[in-house]
């Protein structure tokens, strides 16, 4: 079995380390919607939600972008 990617945990390390700008950069290039949802859940459970409003806004924006249906692009 393949190991799971702990992307959300790595982003939380950036946030807890006091580097929200790097966390926002990682959020903008999030691999999947599931990873972003995991990050949002971790932020809520650890009571970090609201402490960094820019990070919360970046998560919300990225969730909206990844959840929306893709526009058709011609090849």
Q: Which band of pLDDT confidence, cut at 50, 70 and 90, is reported for residue 67?
A: confident
pTM (2 d.p.): 0.81
Instruction: State residue 66's pLDDT score.
Output: 86
* Length of the chain counted residue by residue: 75
Q: In the predicted model, what is the mean pLDDT of residues 39-62? A: 93
Range with the lowest mean pLDDT among 10-14, 31-35, 55-59?
Answer: 31-35
- The three-class DSSP label of residue 30 is coil
Query: Is 36 in contact with 68 (CB distance < 8 Å)?
Result: no
């Amino acid at each position: 079995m393949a190991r799971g990617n702990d992307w959300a945990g790595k982003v939380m390390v950036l946030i807890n380390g006091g580097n929200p700008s790097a966390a926002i950069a990682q959020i903008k290039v999030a691999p999947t919607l599931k990873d972003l949802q995991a990050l949002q859940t971790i932020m809520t459970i650890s009571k970090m939600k609201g402490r960094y409003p820019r990070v919360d806004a970046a998560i919300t924006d990225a969730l909206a972008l990844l959840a929306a249906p893709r526009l058709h692009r011609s090849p």
